[in-house]
Amino acid sequence: MPKLKPAKKRVASLDEADPRFDPVVKALAHTPGFSLMQSKSGAMRGLVLEGKSFGMSSNGRFILKLTEERAAELISEGVGKAFSPSAGRVMKGWIEITHPAADWVALAKEAHRIAAAGPVKKSRR
Protein backbone atom coordinates (compact mmCIF):
# COMPACT_ATOMS: atom_id res chain seq x y z
CA MET A 1 0.00 0.00 0.00
CA PRO A 2 1.49 3.41 -1.01
CA LYS A 3 2.25 5.92 1.69
CA LEU A 4 -0.11 8.90 1.64
CA LYS A 5 1.26 12.43 1.72
CA PRO A 6 -0.41 15.01 3.93
CA ALA A 7 -2.74 17.30 2.02
CA LYS A 8 -1.29 20.68 1.13
CA LYS A 9 -2.99 23.65 2.68
CA ARG A 10 -4.91 25.42 -0.05
CA VAL A 11 -4.74 29.19 -0.35
CA ALA A 12 -7.54 30.96 -2.20
CA SER A 13 -6.54 32.24 -5.59
CA LEU A 14 -7.72 35.52 -7.07
CA ASP A 15 -10.38 33.63 -9.02
CA GLU A 16 -11.73 31.91 -5.90
CA ALA A 17 -12.11 35.19 -4.02
CA ASP A 18 -14.33 36.82 -6.66
CA PRO A 19 -13.75 36.36 -10.38
CA ARG A 20 -15.52 39.67 -11.17
CA PHE A 21 -12.61 41.48 -9.51
CA ASP A 22 -9.92 40.04 -11.78
CA PRO A 23 -10.73 42.31 -14.77
CA VAL A 24 -10.56 45.32 -12.41
CA VAL A 25 -7.06 44.35 -11.31
CA LYS A 26 -5.96 43.68 -14.89
CA ALA A 27 -7.33 47.04 -16.07
CA LEU A 28 -5.38 48.96 -13.40
CA ALA A 29 -2.30 46.75 -13.14
CA HIS A 30 0.01 48.92 -15.24
CA THR A 31 -1.19 52.25 -13.89
CA PRO A 32 1.63 54.23 -12.22
CA GLY A 33 1.32 54.21 -8.44
CA PHE A 34 -1.27 51.42 -8.37
CA SER A 35 -0.87 48.45 -6.08
CA LEU A 36 -3.06 45.61 -4.91
CA MET A 37 -3.19 44.68 -1.27
CA GLN A 38 -4.41 41.19 -0.47
CA SER A 39 -5.19 39.23 2.66
CA LYS A 40 -3.36 35.94 3.14
CA SER A 41 -6.48 34.00 2.18
CA GLY A 42 -7.01 36.13 -0.93
CA ALA A 43 -10.62 36.79 0.08
CA MET A 44 -10.05 40.51 0.71
CA ARG A 45 -8.24 42.65 -1.83
CA GLY A 46 -7.73 46.38 -1.80
CA LEU A 47 -7.13 48.86 -4.62
CA VAL A 48 -4.42 51.34 -3.63
CA LEU A 49 -3.01 54.40 -5.35
CA GLU A 50 0.20 55.87 -3.92
CA GLY A 51 -0.55 54.22 -0.57
CA LYS A 52 -4.17 55.42 -0.35
CA SER A 53 -7.11 53.03 -0.63
CA PHE A 54 -9.77 53.77 -3.23
CA GLY A 55 -11.58 50.43 -3.37
CA MET A 56 -11.79 46.84 -2.24
CA SER A 57 -13.37 43.48 -2.81
CA SER A 58 -14.30 41.34 0.15
CA ASN A 59 -16.58 38.33 0.38
CA GLY A 60 -18.26 39.07 -2.95
CA ARG A 61 -18.72 42.76 -2.16
CA PHE A 62 -17.20 45.51 -4.31
CA ILE A 63 -16.64 48.80 -2.48
CA LEU A 64 -15.32 52.04 -3.98
CA LYS A 65 -14.40 55.56 -2.84
CA LEU A 66 -15.98 58.21 -5.06
CA THR A 67 -17.05 61.77 -4.42
CA GLU A 68 -20.05 62.13 -2.10
CA GLU A 69 -22.10 63.50 -5.01
CA ARG A 70 -21.20 60.65 -7.37
CA ALA A 71 -21.85 58.00 -4.72
CA ALA A 72 -25.27 59.58 -4.01
CA GLU A 73 -26.05 59.58 -7.75
CA LEU A 74 -25.19 55.89 -8.13
CA ILE A 75 -27.20 55.02 -5.01
CA SER A 76 -30.24 56.87 -6.38
CA GLU A 77 -29.85 54.96 -9.68
CA GLY A 78 -29.88 51.65 -7.81
CA VAL A 79 -26.28 50.76 -8.65
CA GLY A 80 -25.25 50.43 -5.02
CA LYS A 81 -25.78 51.39 -1.43
CA ALA A 82 -23.89 53.52 1.07
CA PHE A 83 -20.99 51.57 2.54
CA SER A 84 -21.19 50.98 6.26
CA PRO A 85 -18.32 48.93 7.73
CA SER A 86 -20.01 48.83 11.13
CA ALA A 87 -23.60 49.15 12.27
CA GLY A 88 -24.89 52.65 11.76
CA ARG A 89 -21.64 54.27 10.58
CA VAL A 90 -21.74 55.30 6.92
CA MET A 91 -18.48 56.30 5.26
CA LYS A 92 -18.89 59.44 3.15
CA GLY A 93 -18.25 58.87 -0.55
CA TRP A 94 -17.84 55.11 -0.17
CA ILE A 95 -20.33 52.93 -2.03
CA GLU A 96 -20.94 49.20 -2.10
CA ILE A 97 -21.82 48.18 -5.64
CA THR A 98 -24.85 45.89 -5.46
CA HIS A 99 -26.37 45.85 -8.95
CA PRO A 100 -25.42 42.59 -10.68
CA ALA A 101 -24.97 44.26 -14.09
CA ALA A 102 -22.77 47.11 -12.81
CA ASP A 103 -19.55 47.60 -14.79
CA TRP A 104 -16.91 47.01 -12.10
CA VAL A 105 -14.03 47.99 -14.40
CA ALA A 106 -15.56 51.33 -15.42
CA LEU A 107 -16.48 52.18 -11.84
CA ALA A 108 -13.01 51.24 -10.58
CA LYS A 109 -11.40 53.43 -13.26
CA GLU A 110 -13.66 56.29 -12.15
CA ALA A 111 -12.64 55.77 -8.51
CA HIS A 112 -9.00 55.67 -9.61
CA ARG A 113 -9.35 58.99 -11.48
CA ILE A 114 -10.92 60.57 -8.39
CA ALA A 115 -8.13 59.23 -6.17
CA ALA A 116 -5.49 60.47 -8.62
CA ALA A 117 -7.04 63.95 -8.63
CA GLY A 118 -6.50 64.23 -4.90
CA PRO A 119 -8.81 65.39 -2.13
CA VAL A 120 -11.97 67.20 -3.11
CA LYS A 121 -12.38 70.54 -1.36
CA LYS A 122 -15.86 71.31 -0.08
CA SER A 123 -17.18 74.67 -1.16
CA ARG A 124 -18.16 77.14 1.52
CA ARG A 125 -21.65 78.56 1.29
Q: What pLDDT shows up at residue 87? A: 72
How does strand 44-49 pair with strand 34-38?
A: antiparallel
123 located within any domain: no
Q: What pLDDT shows up at residue 40? A: 81
Q: What pLDDT shows up at residue 120? A: 55
- Cβ 15 vs Cβ 43: under 8 Å: no
- Residues 77-95 as b/e (b if ≥16 CB within 10 A, e otherwise) read eebbeebeeeeeeeeebbb
Q: How many residues does the chain have?
A: 125
C-alpha–C-alpha distance, residues 87 and 103, integer Å: 27
C-alpha–C-alpha distance, residues 43 and 110, integer Å: 23
40 located within any domain: yes
87 located within any domain: yes
3 located within any domain: no
Number of domains in the chain: 1
Q: What pLDDT shows up at residue 90? A: 86
51 located within any domain: yes
Q: What pLDDT shows up at residue 125? A: 45
Q: What pLDDT shows up at residue 7? A: 40
* Successive 10-residue mean pLDDT values, the chain, 125 residues: 42 56 94 90 87 91 96 96 84 94 96 87 49
pTM of the model: 0.78
Closest CA to 117 of 44, 58, 67: 67
Which one-letter amino acid corresponds to residue 108?
Answer: A
8 located within any domain: no
CATH code (residue 37)? 3.90.1150.30
Q: What pLDDT shows up at residue 17? A: 62
